[in-house]
């Protein structure tokens, strides 16, 4: 049985009538950008998070850029980001003219280590951008306390953890202005590119809305130098169909993760994901670590099982950041994760039988 790394059709198939109806409704409406679907989805998303405001935008990277812009973080500023993250977090900082300052993760949760943040703060630091990586909420109480002590903004990168909580509060509601992505593979995925900003501050919500719509509130009256970062009606309508199923999909991801955790415990040198006592994990990714990572990935591939590495090169070693002057060894924990991490198949609709096939293939690899 071939098992792909990800199968999005499994979640869409049962909703196909509703998705088609939503698409047909948008096509027939004659209105394709910033209309009723977008407004309705923004309200639904804010309600889901329990945030006061949500603004639909074009994608996750733009959500992070607009958040930093709205907070006035730009030229000359430093922004603290995790050394272990998808490059988009750092790119958002670079795109507003600021400098990403990397801070190492905890090796058990893979999220930014709050105990290492203060050493990276100086007079140029303006913001901290925690990432709820792989689907687990970062230690937000600690991070918000550090930010308050130093007068810094917090921008959560909530692209991977929609629905996760820290001390019962949803990610995307702690920071001053937060971004998420509805890239198709995310826990709540559109059928194209989409994203959203969430905030409890009406002024920041307005700023994001204006910046992302050519700097204008009133058509053809441009208050500031804006961008085109709008969410389209088609994606908003499709996201409205999918959002009511997110909690169920999260529960399915957590059940698959439980099966992996049980079936893989004590196997070979595997390091399995750990969840912080105060956080929940929505398993956007199920990431294991092993010194035999490449060999294991090849073995699974031979057995028809798809895996991916998140991420093979940490941001500080990417060619695009060569000018920051980092070298191998500068962020050893991020590098260790990049060298040993492997993401196993996980998606809503994945059958228990498929999870067992993956587990058995891994047990065979380590026992042979």
Ligand X SMILES: *Cc1c(COP(=O)(O)O)cnc(C)c1O
As measured in angstroms, the least distance from the Cβ of 108 to ligand X is 19
Q: Are 66 and 74 in contact (CB under 8 A)?
A: no
As measured in angstroms, the least distance from the Cβ of 183 to ligand X is 4
- Here's the x/- map for ligand X, 304-323, by CB under 6 A: it reads as --------------------
- Calculate ∠ Cα 185-354-15, nearest 5°: 45
Cβ-based nearer residue to ligand X, 104 or 193: 193
Which span sits near ligand X by CB under 6 A: 16-24, 56-64, 314-322, 350-358? 56-64
Site for ligand X in 189-248 (CB under 6 A): 193, 195
- Here's the x/- map for ligand X, 139-158, by CB under 6 A: it reads as ------------------x-
Q: Is 86 in the site for ligand X (CB under 6 A)?
A: yes
Which span sits near ligand X by CB under 6 A: 15-23, 85-93, 274-282, 339-347? 85-93
- Measure the CA–CA gap between 294 and 148, rounded to whole angstroms: 43
Long-range contacts of 214-223 (CB under 8 A, 24+ apart): none
Q: Is 88 in the site for ligand X (CB under 6 A)?
A: yes
Question: How many residues of this chain bind ligand X (CB under 6 A)?
Answer: 15
> Using CB atoms, what's the residue nearest to ligand X?
60
Q: Is 131 in the site for ligand X (CB under 6 A)?
A: yes
In 10 A of CB 106, how many CB atoms?
18
User: 67, 83, 89, 198: which one contacts ligand X (CB under 6 A)?
Assistant: 89
User: 83, 125, 136, 160: which one contacts ligand X (CB under 6 A)?
Assistant: 160
Which span sits near ligand X by CB under 6 A: 75-83, 84-92, 244-252, 269-277? 84-92
User: 41, 46, 55, 60: which one contacts ligand X (CB under 6 A)?
Assistant: 60
Q: Which residue has the tokens 């629905």?
A: 163
Q: Take residue 238 and report the two structure tokens written for it.
A: 């499709």
Closest listed residue to residue 271, CA positions, set 290, 284, 257: 290
Q: Are 350 and 7 in contact (CB under 8 A)?
A: yes
CA 194 to chain centre: 13
Q: Are 129 and 95 in contact (CB under 8 A)?
A: no
Which spans in 222-274 are helix H?
Answer: 233-242, 246-264
Q: Is 85 in the site for ligand X (CB under 6 A)?
A: yes
- Measure the CA–CA gap between 60 and 66, rounded to whole angstroms: 10
- Here's the x/- map for ligand X, 13-52, by CB under 6 A: it reads as ----------------------------------------
Q: Are 310 and 343 in contact (CB under 8 A)?
A: yes
- Measure the CA–CA gap between 315 and 83, rounded to whole angstroms: 7
Torsion over CA of 117, 122, 126 and 130, rounded to 10 degrees?
Answer: -10
Cβ-based nearer residue to ligand X, 132 or 299: 132
- Measure the CA–CA gap between 243 and 251, rounded to whole angstroms: 14
Q: Is 183 in the site for ligand X (CB under 6 A)?
A: yes
Q: Is 136 in the site for ligand X (CB under 6 A)?
A: no
Return residues touching ligand X (CB under 6 A): 59-61, 85-86, 88-89, 131, 157, 159-160, 181, 183, 193, 195
């Amino acid at each position: 049985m071939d098992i792909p790394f990800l199968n999005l059709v499994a979640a869409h198939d049962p909703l196909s009538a509703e998705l088609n109806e939503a698409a047909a409704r948008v096509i027939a409406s004659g209105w394709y950008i910033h209309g009723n679907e977008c407004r309705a989805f923004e309200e639904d998303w804010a309600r889901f998070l329990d945030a006061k405001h949500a603004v639909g935008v074009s994608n996750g990277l733009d959500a992070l850029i607009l958040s930093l812009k709205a907070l006035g973080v730009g030229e000359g500023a430093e922004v603290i980001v995790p050394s272990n993250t998808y490059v988009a977090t750092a790119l958002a900082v670079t795109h507003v003219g600021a400098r990403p300052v990397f801070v190492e993760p905890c090796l058990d949760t893979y999220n930014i280590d709050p105990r290492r943040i203060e050493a990276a703060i100086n007079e140029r630091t303006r913001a901290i951008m925690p990432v709820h990586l792989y689907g687990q909420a970062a230690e937000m109480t600690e991070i918000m306390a550090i930010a308050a002590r130093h007068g810094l903004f917090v921008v959560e990168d909530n692209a991977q953890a929609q629905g996760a909580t820290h001390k019962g509060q949803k990610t995307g509601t702690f920071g001053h202005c937060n971004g998420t992505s509805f890239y198709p593979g995310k826990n709540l995925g559109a059928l194209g590119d989409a994203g959203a900003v969430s905030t409890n501050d009406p002024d920041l919500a307005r700023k994001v809305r204006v910046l992302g719509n050519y700097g204008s509130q009133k058509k053809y009256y441009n208050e500031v130098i804006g961008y085109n970062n709008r969410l389209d009606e088609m994606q908003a309508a499709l996201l409205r169909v999918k959002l009511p199923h997110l909690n169920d999909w999260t529960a399915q991801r957590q059940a698959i993760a439980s099966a992996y955790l049980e079936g893989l415990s004590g196997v070979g040198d595997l390091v399995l994901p750990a969840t912080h006592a105060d956080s929940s994990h929505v398993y956007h990714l199920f990431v294991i670590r092993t010194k035999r990572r490449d060999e294991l990935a090849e073995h699974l591939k031979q057995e028809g099982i798809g895996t991916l590495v998140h991420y093979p090169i940490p941001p500080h070693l990417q060619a695009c950041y060569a000018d920051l002057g980092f070298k191998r060894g500068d962020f050893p924990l991020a590098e260790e994760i990049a060298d040993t991490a492997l993401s196993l198949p996980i998606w809503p609709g994945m059958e228990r039988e498929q999870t067992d096939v993956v587990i058995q293939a891994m047990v065979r690899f380590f026992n042979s």
